[in-house]
Amino acid sequence: MAGYTPMMEQYLSVKAEARDALLFFRLGDFYEMFFEDALTASRELEITLTGRGAGMEERVPMCGVPYHSAEGYIARLIEKGYKVAICEQVEDPKAAKGVVRREIVRIVTPGTVMDTKAAQEAANNFIVGAAESGGRFGLAACDLTTGELYVTSFAAAREAVKNALNVYKPAEAVGDEAAVRLIREESAASGRTILCTERSDYDAALLANQFPNERWAAHEDVRKAAVARLIGYLGETQKRSLGHLRTVKAYEPESYMALDAFTRRNLELTETVRDRSRKGSLLWLLDRTRTAMGARLLKRWVDQPLLDRDAVDRRLDAVEALHRDWMRREGIREELREVYDLERLVGRIAYGTANARDLNALRATLERVPALQSLCRDSGASPLAAIADRMDACADVAEAIGSAIADEPPVSVREGGLIRPGFDPKLDTLREASQNGKRWIAELERQEREATGIKSLKIGFNKVFGYYLEVTRANLGALPEGRYERKQTLANAERFVTPELKEKEALILEAEESMVDLEYETFVRLRDGIAAQIPRLQQLAEGLSALDALQSLAEVSAERRYTRPSWSEGYDLHIEDGRHPVVEAVSESGSFIANHSALTRDNSILLITGPNMAGKSTYMRQVAVICIMAQIGCFVPAKSASLPLVDRIFTRIGAADDLVGGQSTFMVEMKDIQVMTEQATERSLVIIDELGRGTSTEEGMAIAQAVIEYVHDHIRCKALVSTHFHELAHLENSLRSLSNGCMAVKESQGGVTFLRKLVPGAADSSYGIYCAQLAGLPDTIVSRAYSLIESAQRPAAATVCETAAAFSPVPNPEAAVVQLSMFAESPAPEKPKKSNSPAQDKVLEKLRRLDIMRMTPLQAMEWLNDAKNLLTESGEPS
Ligand code: ADP
Ligand code: MG
């Protein structure tokens, strides 16, 4: 290294502490980067690359950004996945002997950014710590801006890691090699960048120190290791005490409904499939929160539906109380409007970055608490009263802020104007002195104008010359000789000073400087004092976010006429007039068609056939979404719903249907099915949409049938299966608990109308050619396709079956329309072989079941009459 200048040597030694970060090296008013960092930064930020003599013959590459605008540049680098180490001058350059001492004060990384853009307020920014050992995976997820820390563990399998990461969507991960490898694989597969850093340190003292109230002995080793690595990393990068990170929220993955990544995506819980936007998702629909922290909590609720019935009921009780009482709900919403993001305020207070406006926001928030408490207490709902009881209005904190901080303080805390007059007599004296001085100067200006007769004479101030008298060139002649000392010449004016002006100026500036210093000190003392109250403030934040999330659910439920679900004891699921909440919300008012659902032990699998666009996918998702909404604690879009607690929802869409993601292949589909066979239990809900699409028809159908049989015989969970293989309808005969259903379609001259009503029975066509016709294919192609089909057509299978009537509580008038054949209009259809009509089948079936020995002759007569009527009504020759 010999040959470098001392400053460059200092640079290199600082850089050695942050090899994997871009080093922003403070030189005067700039942050400079050198060597590789300069090349990278100039490329990424599109700033000019220069060079600097460093004592060697070669100049080294350099580029820089002004310190006052560094924030934007840093944010851009972080967004691109870099870490940025900020190196500051840590002593006064004037006092320094030799090179000014410099140190890294913080390393900013994607998972530890503290300044959040408004757009991200409603989302968390997580960094995860991870550890893998003995087949177990420990995960610690932390949001540094809010001080939340969640810890869990599970079997170290790709699938489980993927599911956990999907809840947190971390920007960054730290952990041992094996753990990080799993995370990297997942990050690559999902296309979401997670910046990974390997480390396997474990510092027990550090853990104990950061979380003094935690009983670490009770935690599984991989959990401890995950937290330890995270805390180690945060310590090294943040270089400050993390006073807001004090509570560990540990949980078992089994406490929540298991939702794999695909299912979340497919059900569009927090983002849409199409463009991954929040708009159009279930969360978007349910989010009527008034605070950013409430919005973040609601997102966690949607991400993690509960399995504990008591816990769900507590939420539902609260939602019901607010649902029924519009006035109270409005009152709460009104109060919440003035509640700020307490979690992040607390984060900034702990970080020492909160300004006076933040403290005023804190006070405004605290002042809302008493009113919210009484609104909750009088609600008659014990969960709301419990929230009120856990809230601490922290009146002492509010009062301390109120008495010290000015009403409209500036953003900067270094320029005075923070502290309220009357708070500190010493400060008042200084302020008085400065104000007196300024009054004196105003008076001087008046006197001088009078004495000289120059109306435009004025006294101004700038940072270089201090106070001065300014006279325009035209008026210079009117000035008395020798009174004024010339200081500066402008284009059309001259500036002067006088000894007494300078004297006063010194007094004013001195007072102002002391005032600014004293204000800053007072402010910091107050902020540090509040930092000591962080646990109380965090507990309050929890209560406020919960209340906000609950009122949000109540608001949507009331507005959209949702009903409170009840819990069915055991297995069965009944939904009367269920709707898909999002499809309903975005369709024209009143146009959504409600449908029943009944999945019971005897009818646990519903096989839905029907053409494209008939509404199959929507129907199946609606059942899943209703279960999720219920387990979040929300009312559901249905006339009534009696639901079991579902432990897992599994959805899979046939490969060909999933073009949007662009990553799904038949292989992925099969792997997912494999996971389902392994993990689904009797309490699960399985949804398979368009099973077996990605391969040949014969194979696809064979696989579909085999999977359905497996679910029926081995898993015995509730399942909704849609297929375009209407040939699979025969499964109803061999699988006891499977019934057929289809989406009703009405055919007429003009074409096909989708009734979007689920009816018993199977569709007899996929209407694929009809679709082709709709799409405008040439008539030649369409009619050729029809004639090909006809020549290949086996005799049409029996159409609508009555056996599935069990899931339709009311007889369905539309049931009959489905069986109208598509081919009736096409030329010369082959006549199907004569077989029993459904009515005949029904009569025969009834006859078989008849217990003649227990009938009176009259009953027998009546029965015969009914049977005859049935046949006549359905058009059978009598
Ligand atoms: P499929 O899966 O049978 O092809 P989808 O479920 O995708 O059909 O539904 C097609 C379209 O029909 C959806 O985009 C939706 O707008 C509309 N739709 C579905 N179900 C209903 C319903 N119950 N009421 C009104 N419109 C519906
Ligand atoms: Mg579909």
614 in contact with ligand 1, CB cutoff 6 A: yes
767 in contact with ligand 1, CB cutoff 6 A: no
Q: What is the pLDDT of residue 825?
A: 38
798 in contact with ligand 1, CB cutoff 6 A: no
CA of 621 to the centre of ligand 2 (A): 10
Q: Which residues contact 354 (CB under 8 A, 6 or more apart)?
A: 345, 348, 527
CA of 275 to the centre of ligand 1 (A): 19
Q: 151 has which bridge partners? A: 140, 250
Q: What is the pLDDT of residues 94-107, one digit of tens each?
A: 888 888 999 999 99
CA of 619 to the centre of ligand 1 (A): 8
Query: Which tokens hold the place of 567?
Result: 């819990």
Residue 43 has pLDDT above 90, yes or no: yes
d(CA 166, CA 164): 5
CA of 726 to the centre of ligand 2 (A): 14
617 in contact with ligand 1, CB cutoff 6 A: yes
755 in contact with ligand 1, CB cutoff 6 A: no
Pocket test for ligand 1, best of 613, 653, 774 (most atoms within 8 A of CB): 613
Pocket test for ligand 1, best of 577, 583, 658 (most atoms within 8 A of CB): 583
**Number of the ligand 1 atom closest to the C-alpha atom of 620:** 6
Q: What is the pLDDT of residues 126-144, one digit of tens each?
A: 999 999 999 999 999 999 9
Q: Are 273 and 265 in contact (CB under 8 A)?
A: yes
Distances (CA, A) of 617 to 302, 436, 625, 720, 817: 21, 77, 12, 10, 21
Residue 417 has pLDDT above 70, yes or no: yes
| Exposure string for 480-496, b = 16+ CB within 10 A, e = fewer | eeeebeeeeeeeebbbb
Q: What is the pLDDT of residues 644-654, one digit of tens each?
A: 999 999 998 76
Residue 704 has pLDDT above 80, yes or no: yes
Rounded average pLDDT over 805-832: 39
CA of 779 to the centre of ligand 1 (A): 27
Q: What is the pLDDT of residues 265-297, one digit of tens each?
A: 899 999 998 888 999 999 999 999 999 999 999
Nearest to 433 by CA among 504, 503, 502: 504
Q: Which of 608-617, 628-637, 735-744 has the highest mean pLDDT?
A: 628-637
Q: Are 306 and 631 in contact (CB under 8 A)?
A: yes
Q: What is the pLDDT of residues 650-672, one digit of tens each?
A: 998 765 444 444 455 677 778 88
Residue 829 has pLDDT above 50, yes or no: no
Least distant ligand from the CA of 657? 2
Q: What is the pLDDT of residue 803?
A: 34
538 in contact with ligand 1, CB cutoff 6 A: no
24 in contact with ligand 1, CB cutoff 6 A: no
Least distant ligand from the CA of 651? 2
- For residue 496, the SS3 value is strand
Q: What is the pLDDT of residue 806?
A: 36
d(CA 820, CA 160): 48
User: Annotated binding site, which residues?
Assistant: 610-617
- For residue 75, the SS3 value is helix
Residue whose CA lies nearest to ligand 1 atom number 26: 592
d(CA 108, CA 118): 19
Residue whose CA lies nearest to ligand 1 atom number 12: 615
CA of 612 to the centre of ligand 2 (A): 6
d(CA 86, CA 239): 11
Nearest to 49 by CA among 68, 32, 72: 32
Read off φ and ψ for residue 78, nearest 5 degrees.
-65, -45
User: Annotated binding site for ATP, which residues?
Assistant: 610-617
CA of 701 to the centre of ligand 1 (A): 24
- Percent of the chain at pLDDT > 70 equals 91
DSSP at 322: H
Q: Which of 321-330, 484-493, 769-778, 788-797 has the highest mean pLDDT?
A: 321-330
What structural domains and CATH numbers belong to the chain?
6-108 (3.40.1170.10), 126-255 (3.30.420.110), 287-394+533-559 (1.10.1420.10), 425-508 (1.10.1420.10), 566-773 (3.40.50.300), 778-827+834-873 (no CATH)
**Number of the ligand 1 atom closest to the C-alpha atom of 611:** 3
Confidence class for position 244, pLDDT limits 50, 70, 90: very high
Least distant ligand from the CA of 611? 1
Q: What is the pLDDT of residues 741-773, one digit of tens each?
A: 988 888 776 677 788 999 888 876 666 777 777
Question: For residue 279, with 0-12 CB atoms within 10 Å meaning exposed, 13-18 middle and 19 or more buried, which class applies?
Answer: exposed
616 in contact with ligand 1, CB cutoff 6 A: yes
Q: Are 78 and 110 in contact (CB under 8 A)?
A: yes
Least distant ligand from the CA of 755? 1
Q: What is the pLDDT of residue 662?
A: 46
Residue whose CA lies nearest to ligand 1 atom number 20: 615
The rounded Cα 593 to chain-centroid distance in angstroms is 30
CA of 298 to the centre of ligand 1 (A): 27
Query: Which tokens hold the place of 144?
Result: 């540094």
Of 319-323, 392-396, 867-871, least confident by mean pLDDT is: 867-871
CA of 613 to the centre of ligand 2 (A): 7
d(CA 817, CA 746): 6
